[in-house]
């Protein structure tokens, strides 16, 4: 078969590192192994007594048996049932679930008597991104802020009677809207026990599609940004479709507005933003918010759709702060955004646009990060350069500048300034020749070595004639993980190197590529989010394993040495759920993750699981889970 032959030749080229390791060829290793000279490369790698060390040079070369990775937990078997499950020796708890009160005065959850007012004081639906920011401990109690995205809802599971999202009455619609956005909640842990919400915390906040926000950067105040709710194109209301995100070193959260077109209703008048809406692949009809609020009716208010699709920066330390929509980072279906501070102080932000054949982006700040100068750092993401990634087949990644006036980004092609470039980022990246990817979800930086890992979740529309080195499979239903890094660790460089980290799918599928030691439980499908522990291991959350009859969940793998890409299953989600938002506490003794849409596809009256309460009077509830090692210790050990 042609694609198999092509696939094999691509594999031979782009999986070179692993075959070198397997063959025991040590020469040239220093050139392909991650740089470790930069002082940042050592950040977060504090070794604990007795813990194995990640080798910089592969010490297994020439050995029969691979050396054990630092991930020594006993692997969890595949399976699919109504409950959450974690590897033996670990315990889990629901920290906060949909409807849980976030404030002292919030009403207790009652799905039969839910109201907009109650939902505005309670944890929202379908938690996706989870960020943990450590606060100073109070005695032996650890404390932190959880910042959580509520990406979407599933009205058939939320409301008695199981209405579809496009058939909500006004009261239901108001509740539905209020269940979106973000929650900020302080949590505390007493004596290494369970985590619990602190309901009287001054930080707790709900951010919703009605919260006052502002645009900053090149598109702020532009004519195309004038709408029913914004006469100046600077002020706006709300965020929704918030998928993944990332923390900044200055203590804010970046949240990605992803499938924002789903919240709109109707059709825009001909000739208004036609090119943009085409490039945005606008797909309306999932919701009827626009029937009740003309703000979301494209016929009446088409440019409202330009107010979403951004990265929004939220300051969780100030509940009165206005979240800022950072337009310099471009508008597309943002999965999330993750930051690396370059050695010269410039801030690199890595981002994915999660749609079939869309792109990976990098933003580089003009100004420098100043440790301790929060006020200055809060404007870093407003000025700088945006780039889209072109993956060359020879292993080079080239960053193409989305700069007005350069190359094709001129008036002849419909661009009259940088505002147009960021608003029409997809069109610009396409004109520049960026590589159309297999749905880039989380694009996250490993603080251990500054390497970036992109979760390419799947793309079943890729035809044989469109496969390329970075996206090597036609009808790709299982996804792959791609790794890229700047040689000499300079994130401002035009050229990086790239390599496929692994190609997902069933272990016996000839088109997959795993570590040869991967067990029958170590394979997975559809990588979506990821995070890194302090030893540099990657923790991968999935969304799509159920097509193989197994639960989604979390798999962990090393990134260097003999345990590189040796994935092991750690968590199973309950039926219907995808796994989102993995993150660690800085001491790595707690691991947080988000169970999104448990029982998806079933109905309020007869859900396929009632996780996590298993109470006949309650529907299933999306929830943030904390996982700890029984008796304490580093998660993964
Ligand atoms: Fe909301 Fe790309 O997942
Ligand atoms: Ca996602
Ligand atoms: Ca992440
Ligand atoms: Ca997904």
Residues linked to residue 445 through DSSP beta bridges, in sequence order: 452
Look at residue 285 in the predicted model and tell me its pLDDT: 84
Q: Within a 13 Å sphere around the CA of 118, how many CA atoms are in the beta-carbon half?
A: 15
The whole-number average pLDDT for the span 357-371 is 98
Residues within 6 Å of ligand 1 by CB? 151, 243, 258, 335, 354, 441
The per-residue pLDDT of the chain, averaged, comes to 91
Per-residue pLDDT at 502 exceeds 80 = yes
The whole-number average pLDDT for the span 514-543 is 97
Q: Is 332 helix (H, G, I), strand (E, B) or coil?
A: coil
> pLDDT, tens digit, for every residue of 450-495?
999 999 999 999 999 999 999 999 999 999 999 999 999 999 999 9
The whole-number average pLDDT for the span 229-257 is 98
Look at residue 287 in the predicted model and tell me its pLDDT: 95
Whether 607 is covered by a domain: the verdict is yes
Atom number, ligand 1, closest to the C-alpha of residue 152: 1
Whether 285 is covered by a domain: the verdict is no
Atom 1, ligand 1: residue with shortest CA distance? 243
Q: Within a 13 Å sphere around the CA of 219, how many CA atoms are in the beta-carbon half?
A: 30
Gap between the Cα atoms of 284 and 308, Å rounded: 14
Which ligand neighbours the alpha carbon of 256 most closely?
Answer: 1
Atom number, ligand 1, closest to the C-alpha of residue 354: 2
Whether 245 is covered by a domain: the verdict is yes
184 CA distance to ligand 2 middle (Å): 20
Question: Which tokens hold the place of 591?
Answer: 């691991």
Atom number, ligand 1, closest to the C-alpha of residue 259: 1
578 CA distance to ligand 2 middle (Å): 9
Selection from 31-35, 38-42, 62-66, 94-98 with the highest mean pLDDT: 94-98
Whether 601 is covered by a domain: the verdict is yes
Which ligand neighbours the alpha carbon of 354 most closely?
Answer: 1
| Chain centroid to CA 288 | 26
CA dihedral of residues 234, 235, 241, 242 (deg, nearest 10) = 80
Question: Which tokens hold the place of 24?
Answer: 């025991």
Whether 426 is covered by a domain: the verdict is yes
| Chain centroid to CA 116 | 28
Atom number, ligand 1, closest to the C-alpha of residue 457: 2
Q: Is 146 helix (H, G, I), strand (E, B) or coil?
A: strand
Quick one: 104 exposed, middle or buried, by C-beta within 10 A (0-12, 13-18, 19+)?
Answer: exposed
Gap between the Cα atoms of 336 and 242, Å rounded: 8
Percent of the chain with pLDDT over 90: 88
Look at residue 56 in the predicted model and tell me its pLDDT: 30
Cβ neighbors of 72 (< 8 A, separation 6 or more) are 52, 636, 637
- Residue 315 lies in domain: 4-258+309-629
Question: Which tokens hold the place of 326?
Answer: 């950072």
Quick one: 509 exposed, middle or buried, by C-beta within 10 A (0-12, 13-18, 19+)?
Answer: middle
Whether 317 is covered by a domain: the verdict is yes
Would you place residue 68 in the very low, low, confident or very high pLDDT band (cuts 50, 70, 90)? low
Per-residue pLDDT at 36 exceeds 70 = no
Please calculate the CA angle 72-514-527 and round it to the nearest 5 degrees: 85
The whole-number average pLDDT for the span 178-189 is 98
The whole-number average pLDDT for the span 134-141 is 95
Per-residue pLDDT at 21 exceeds 50 = no
Residues linked to residue 531 through DSSP beta bridges, in sequence order: 539
Which ligand neighbours the alpha carbon of 580 most closely?
Answer: 2
Per residue, what are the HEC states of 425-456? HHHHHHHHCCCCEECEEEEEEECCCCEEEEEE
Gap between the Cα atoms of 365 and 536, Å rounded: 25
Per-residue pLDDT at 44 exceeds 50 = no
Atom number, ligand 1, closest to the C-alpha of residue 441: 2
333 CA distance to ligand 4 middle (Å): 12
Whether 414 is covered by a domain: the verdict is yes
> pLDDT, tens digit, for every residue of 384-433?
999 999 999 999 999 999 999 999 999 999 999 999 999 999 999 999 99
Gap between the Cα atoms of 320 and 146, Å rounded: 17
Gap between the Cα atoms of 99 and 4, Å rounded: 49
> Which of these ranges, 50-54, 272-276, 500-504, has the smallest mean pLDDT?
50-54
> pLDDT, tens digit, for every residue of 256-272?
999 999 999 999 999 99
Atom number, ligand 1, closest to the C-alpha of residue 128: 1
Whether 250 is covered by a domain: the verdict is yes
Length of the chain: 637
Gap between the Cα atoms of 516 and 281, Å rounded: 40
Q: Is 452 helix (H, G, I), strand (E, B) or coil?
A: strand
527 CA distance to ligand 2 middle (Å): 9
Look at residue 64 in the predicted model and tell me its pLDDT: 40
> Which of these ranges, 30-34, 461-465, 598-602, has the smallest mean pLDDT?
30-34
Atom number, ligand 1, closest to the C-alpha of residue 335: 2
573 CA distance to ligand 4 middle (Å): 14
Which residues are placed with Cβ below 5 angstroms of ligand 3, an ion? 442, 444, 531
483 CA distance to ligand 3 middle (Å): 14
Would you place residue 37 in the very low, low, confident or very high pLDDT band (cuts 50, 70, 90)? very low
Per-residue pLDDT at 7 exceeds 70 = no
DSSP for 197-230, written as a single string = E-TT-TT-EEE-TTSEEEEESTTTT-GGG-BTTB
Per-residue pLDDT at 180 exceeds 60 = yes
> pLDDT, tens digit, for every residue of 282-299?
989 899 999 999 999 999
Which ligand neighbours the alpha carbon of 578 most closely?
Answer: 4
Per-residue pLDDT at 336 exceeds 90 = yes
Could you tell me if 313 and 287 are in contact, meaning their C-beta atoms sit under 8 angstroms apart? no
Q: For the chain, what is the domain count?
A: 1
Q: Is 355 helix (H, G, I), strand (E, B) or coil?
A: coil
Whether the predicted model's global pTM rises above the 0.95 cut: no
DSSP state of 122: B
Which ligand neighbours the alpha carbon of 439 most closely?
Answer: 1
442 CA distance to ligand 1 middle (Å): 8
217 CA distance to ligand 4 middle (Å): 29
The whole-number average pLDDT for the span 189-201 is 95
Please calculate the CA angle 166-171-174 and round it to the nearest 5 degrees: 75
Per-residue pLDDT at 45 exceeds 50 = no
440 CA distance to ligand 2 middle (Å): 9
């Amino acid at each position: 078969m042609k694609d198999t032959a092509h696939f094999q030749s691509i594999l031979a080229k782009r999986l070179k590192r692993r075959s070198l390791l397997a063959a025991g060829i040590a020469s040239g290793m220093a050139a392909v192994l991650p740089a470790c000279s930069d002082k940042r490369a050592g950040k977060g790698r504090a070794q604990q007594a007795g813990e194995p060390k990640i080798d910089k040079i592969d010490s297994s070369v020439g050995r029969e048996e691979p050396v054990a990775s630092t991930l020594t937990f006993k692997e969890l078997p595949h399976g699919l049932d109504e409950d959450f499950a974690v590897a033996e020796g670990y315990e889990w708890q629901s920290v906060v679930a949909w409807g849980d009160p976030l404030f002292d005065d919030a009403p207790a959850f009652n799905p039969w008597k839910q109201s907009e007012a109650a939902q505005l004081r309670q944890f929202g639906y379908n938690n996706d991104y989870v960020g943990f920011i450590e606060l100073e401990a109070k005695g032996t109690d650890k404390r932190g802020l959880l910042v959580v995205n509520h990406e979407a809802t599933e009205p058939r599971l939320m409301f008695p009677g199981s209405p579809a999202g496009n058939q909500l009455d006004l009261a239901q619609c108001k509740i539905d809207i209020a269940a979106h956005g973000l929650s900020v909640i302080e949590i505390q842990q007493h004596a290494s026990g369970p985590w619990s919400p602190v309901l009287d915390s001054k930080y707790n906040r709900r951010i919703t599609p009605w919260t006052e926000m502002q645009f900053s950067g090149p598109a702020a105040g532009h004519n195309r940004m004038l709408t029913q709710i914004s006469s100046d194109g600077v002020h706006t209301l709300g965020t929704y479709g918030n998928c993944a995100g990332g923390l900044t070193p200055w203590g804010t959260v970046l949240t990605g507005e992803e499938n924002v077109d789903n919240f709109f209703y109707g059709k825009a008048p001909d000739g208004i933003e036609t090119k943009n809406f085409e490039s945005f692949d606008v797909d309306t009809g999932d919701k009827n918010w626009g029937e009740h609020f003309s703000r979301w009716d494209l016929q009446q208010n088409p440019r409202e759709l330009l107010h979403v699709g951004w990265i929004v920066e939220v300051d969780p330390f100030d509940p009165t702060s206005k979240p800022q929509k950072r337009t310099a980072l471009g508008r597309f279906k943002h999965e999330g955004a993750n930051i690396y501070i370059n050695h010269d102080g410039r801030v690199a932000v890595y981002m994915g646009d999660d749609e079939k054949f869309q792109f990976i982006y990098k933003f580089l700040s003009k100004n420098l990060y100043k440790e301790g100068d929060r006020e200055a750092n809060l404007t870093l993401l407003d000025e700088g350069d945006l780039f889209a990634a072109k993956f060359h087949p020879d292993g080079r990644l080239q960053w193409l500048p989305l700069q007005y006036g350069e190359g094709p980004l001129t008036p002849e092609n419909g661009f009259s300034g940088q505002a147009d470039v960021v608003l029409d980022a997809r069109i610009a990246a396409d004109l520049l020749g960026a590589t159309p990817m297999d749905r880039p979800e989380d694009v996250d930086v490993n603080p251990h070595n500054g390497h970036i890992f992109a979760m390419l979740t799947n793309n079943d529309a890729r035809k044989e004639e469109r496969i390329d080195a970075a996206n090597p499979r036609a009808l790709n239903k299982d996804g792959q993980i791609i790794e890229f890094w700047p040689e000499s660790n300079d994130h401002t460089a035009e050229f990086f190197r790239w390599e496929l980290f692994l190609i997902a799918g069933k272990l016996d599928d000839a088109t997959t590529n795993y570590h040869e030691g991967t067990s029958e439980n170590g394979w997975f499908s559809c990588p979506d989010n990821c995070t890194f522990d302090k030893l540099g291991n990657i923790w991968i959350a999935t969304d799509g394993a159920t097509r193989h009859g197994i639960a989604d969940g979390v798999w962990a793998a090393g990134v260097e040495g003999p345990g590189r890409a040796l994935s092991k299953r750690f968590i199973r989600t309950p039926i219907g759920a995808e796994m989102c938002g993995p993150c660690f506490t800085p001491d790595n003794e707690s691991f947080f993750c988000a169970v999104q849409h448990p029982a998806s596809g079933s109905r309020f009256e007869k859900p396929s699981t009632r996780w996590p309460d298993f109470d006949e009077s309650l529907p299933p509830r999306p929830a943030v889970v904390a996982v700890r090692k029984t008796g304490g210790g580093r998660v993964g050990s």
